[in-house]
Amino acid sequence: MGKKGDLSNFERGMVVGARWASLSISQSAQLLGFSRTTISMVYKEWCAKGKTSSMRQSCGRKCLVDARGQRRMGRLIQADRRATLTGITTRYNRGMQQSICEATTRTTLRRMGYNSRRPHRVPLISTTNRKKRLQFARAQQNWTVEDWKNVAWSDESRFLLRHSNGRVRIWRKQNENMDPSCLVTTVQAGGGGVMVWGMFSWHTLVPLVPIGHRLNATAYLSIVSDHVHPFMTTMYPSSDGYFQQDNAPCHKARIISNWFLEHDNEFTVLQWPPQSPDLNPIEHLWDVVEWELRALDVHPTNLHQLQDAILSIWANISKECFQHLVESMPRRIKAVLKAKGGQTPY
């Protein structure tokens, strides 16, 4: 029913086990479903060599890239992560007696665990700001989740009415490139968008504040006095709360700094390091809103509908979701320390 080389190592072990249990060759063959010849040959090999693993060599053409070649190819990848398949193949073939094609390069790279992927986008961090991020992480490295519960996180975000998604792919024939069903329409500046200001803490989400046009210092002062101040004084009556904001120009305007200075006995403004969206958990809430917008069965067709959808999605974010983000803060701080102020996976 089968030959010796066709058996897996597990099946070969079963053969030996059956014979060891004093079953005859015929009984073993009937029990396991293999021929008597296969049973006999496997058992004889075990008696002679004490092995049940198959010594049969794999079939097919010999691999053109051996272990040494894989190490060479790995060094080429490490030297230039953005190299194309053609470039890697060309560099690999230089000085080699036997050249390989791009298909072999692709197969070898996959065998080594490499795959072509879009690079993860991270902010460019200058040397100066890297030091500031590291200083911030060191200052807060002993904060526990209980400490981070006293922080109110804030940020602004803009959501477009239409998205230009370069990842969309379609199936079409060669002459169907201008077929209406094969087109993706685009509009200038995304067809307009809605900007909102948001804030949350461990305890609750603050309702979003729509921003009419651009956010300047005067408009931001209204947000701070009408939304931030009542929230901080109500949520942290013992004046042990921290308000987080990034370093946007309108946040650092003189009238804003003077206002915070006048109310420094009520709460503290957290000194935030530049270029640190990975440390602000509200960024992940913006992602949630974006994902939910794209998942809508009926997409907004005008800015009013878009704003209503954004406000609704934000209001329905679960408490477990934003509390989990606050709980991640000690891990984020450790990630910055490990990266010495550089980029983190968050």
Q: What is the pLDDT of residues 216-251, one digit of tens each?
A: 999 999 999 999 999 999 999 999 999 999 999 999
In this prediction, residue 52 has a pLDDT band, given cuts at 50, 70 and 90, of: low
pLDDT digits (tens, 9 = 90+) for 292-346: 998 888 889 899 999 999 999 999 999 999 999 999 999 999 999 999 999 888 8
Q: Out of 6-20, 33-47, 57-71, which region has the weakest mean confidence (pLDDT)?
A: 6-20
**Torsion 79-83-89-94 (CA) sign:** negative
Q: Out of 122-131, 189-198, 222-231, 254-263, which region has the weakest mean confidence (pLDDT)?
A: 189-198
How far apart, in whole angstroms, are the C-alpha atoms of residue 339 and residue 344? 7
Q: Which of helix, strand or coil describes residue 218?
A: helix
Strand order in the sheet with 268-269: 205-211, 193-200, 151-160, 242-243, 268-269
Q: How high does pLDDT run on average in the chain?
A: 85
Q: What is the mean pLDDT of residues 174-192?
A: 62
Percent of the chain with pLDDT over 70: 80
pLDDT given for residue 281 in this prediction:
96
**Is the CATH code 3.40.50.300 the one for domain 127-339?**
no
Dump strand ranges (E) for 148-251: 151-160, 193-200, 205-211, 242-243
pLDDT given for residue 345 in this prediction:
85
| Contact predicate 147/293, CB 8 Å | no
| Contact predicate 68/96, CB 8 Å | no
pTM, rounded to two decimals: 0.68
Percent of the chain with pLDDT over 90: 54
In the chain, where are the structural domains located? Answer: 9-58, 67-113, 127-339
